[in-house]
Structure formats: structure tokens, C-alpha cells
Amino acid sequence: MSKIELWEYGDDRRDLWDEVVNHSKNGTFIHLRDFIGYHAHRFDDRSVIVLKDGRPVAVFPCNLDADKIVSHAGLTYAGLIYGHDLRAADILDVFAALGEHYRQLGVKSVCYKPTPHIFHRYPAEEDLYALFRMGARVYRRDISSVLSLQNRQPFSSSRRCSIRKARKFGLVIREGDFFEDYHRLLSEVVAKFGVTPVHSVDELRLLHSLLPDRIRLFGVFENDLLLAGALMFDCHHVVHTQYLASCARGRDVGALDHLLAHLIEVVFSDRRYFSFGISTEEDGRYLNEGLIFQKEGFGARGVVCDCYSWSLGQATSALGLGSLFCVHLSGWLSIVSSSVGVC
């Protein structure tokens, strides 16, 4: 008999939460409370810590949006973050507990954004099976471009030509703290599409100060002029281009291609994956072919990023679990269920 408990997250449980993430199979630094907390004021946080037989084994970052739980609106991906101690049958029990917990809060559905498999440090797709058992459906599918660094494809002829051109200008690549110049450049680029950067310059500085080894800024300079920049999220064996930007002069001389080639071939060459992010819009129904073509020019190929809609209208017993006992006491939920024979 295994006992699954859910503890509502509070700041007094920050260290406990981070310890679970750091020892998980599928968590990255974006699931640590320092990262989640920098914009906590924007969300109604309803995250929980999962315990099995009294030991913390998983966390579920999420927020409440009307009558819907989102995992998590402030994160690109999340879902259940868990370690080796949870087996497939345990995950079914955890999802039963989550469903009952949020149902009793009046929640109608859960928007579940699982961590893509390339970020897993060890296989961790038991949650996808549990979603299937719960009757969840994929309502959004984006395609991200990812380069396998240990078995990468060669750059396209157009990318190689651009890189050679940039190197003739004697441009200098630096890593450092030039967030004002970079954010100004980024803002100019995205303004053409009628939007502003998701993060303010102060937020970028704050995140970098909290996680300096994980959030790194690189730029290409001509004398003291920033021509192109890349804000990189360093996630263990995966590096991700959170933001890329180039000015008109930078585009003329191939500065961004030069920078990306340096990051791929030198700075992060020992990693497993180099992620360029998605090239889709309108919940994945529109593919920006020009954007993905540029990423594919570096040898990147597709990894899908799914979002699931899980309705909580059905009773927990729809899982087919055997005996089930639920108790609510002062913000925590306990579910006791036998994992033996669950199919």
C-alpha cells in the first residue's frame, strides 16, 4: 500500500521544492522557485508538493486561471516534475490525487504542458500515460527545432556562407552583462511584429543574478556596437535560445549566424542538444516556414511540444483504481491506494 499526499506550496517549503526539482528526472532550473517566483505577482499559484509514504517525490507547478489549472502559465513547460522513486502505477495514483484535489477547489479542467523529452535527464513519460488514462486530449502541438550536438548535421550552404562573411569583418563575441543594450536591440526587433519582449530588462537582470550559471548572455560586437545577441538558458545537457536578436548592420554581415555557430561549435559543443525553440503560431496551426528554415539551416530538426486538456468532470474512479480513500485536512490531501494490480 502506498500513501500519496499533496502539500500546498508555501515559501516555507521552498528548499523542499527545490530539492525535489534538483533530483528529478525531468526538471530544469525554470522549475526552481527562484525562477517561478520572479513574476509570482502575476499568477494565482496553486502548486503542490507530492509525497509518497511521507517522502517528497514530486512537485506540480501550476496556477489557477478562472476555473482552470494551468501547469504553469509563467513557464514554457512544466507538468509533473518527479524522480526515480515514482513508478508508472504510482503516477496513476498521483494523478488521481491531483484530480481530486483540484476538483474539490472547483476546478473544471487542467491545461497540462509536459516537459519535452529532450530535457529529461532520465526517461520520464509516465505522466503522458496517466494523461491518456485520464482521457486527456492534445489541444495544441508546436514544433521546436533541436540540434543533436553529438551527431549533428552539417550547416547548410547558405548558413556557411553567412558565417564566412561575418568572420571577415573581425567581429568579437563576448559573454557578459550588457542587458540594457541587448534588451533595446530585442525590443526594436519584436516591435516590428507589434509586440514587446516577455521579460523587462530588470527581470532579465534579476533572473541572471539569481541563476548566473543557467542564464547567460552572448553578443557579437563591432567595436563597441552590439550587432546581435543570444540569451541562452543552460539546462544541464540541453541549451536553449530563449531570445535571439540582430540589428540591420548585424543582418548585413551575418553576425547572428556567426554567433550561433560559435555557440554550437565551441561554447556548448559538449552538450547533447541545442534547442532553437518553436516556429509555430495560432496554437500550432500555423508554421512560420521562413523561421524554421533558418533553424534547419544549422542542422536542427523537429521535436513536438504538446499541451493537453484534462477535464476533471469525471470521477477519479474512471482510472480503474481499486480501493481509494481521500481525506482533506488544512490544505493537504491524502490518498491511499494499492498499486498492485493497477493496469
Cell reading at 101? 484535489
Tally Cβ neighbours within 10 Å of residue 266: 9
Cβ atoms of 227 and 250 closer than 8 Å: yes
CA separation for the pair 251, 246 (Å, rounded): 6
CATH topology classification for 2-135+314-337: Aminopeptidase (3.40.630)
Count of helices and strands (H, E) across the chain? 10, 19
CA separation for the pair 98, 233 (Å, rounded): 30
Class of domain 145-305: alpha beta
User: DSSP of 126-162, one letter per residue?
Assistant: HHHHHHHHHT-EEEEEEEEEEEETTSPPPPPHHHHHH
Exposed, middle or buried: residue 53 (CB in 10 Å: 0-12, 13-18, 19+)? exposed
Q: To 5 degrees, how large is the angle CA 277–CA 19–CA 144?
A: 10
Residues 165-194: pLDDT tens digits?
999 998 999 999 999 999 999 999 888 888
Residues 42-90: pLDDT tens digits?
899 999 999 999 999 999 999 999 999 999 999 999 999 999 999 999 9
pLDDT the model gives residue 2: 73
Instruction: Decide whether 2-135+314-337 matches 145-305 in CATH topology.
Output: yes
Domain boundaries, the chain: 2-135+314-337, 145-305
| Consecutive 10-residue averages of pLDDT for the chain (343 residues) | 90 97 97 92 95 97 97 94 96 97 96 97 98 97 97 95 93 95 93 86 93 96 95 96 95 97 97 97 95 96 97 59 34 35 28
Q: Which residues pair with 213 in a beta bridge?
A: none
pTM (whole model) above 0.85: yes
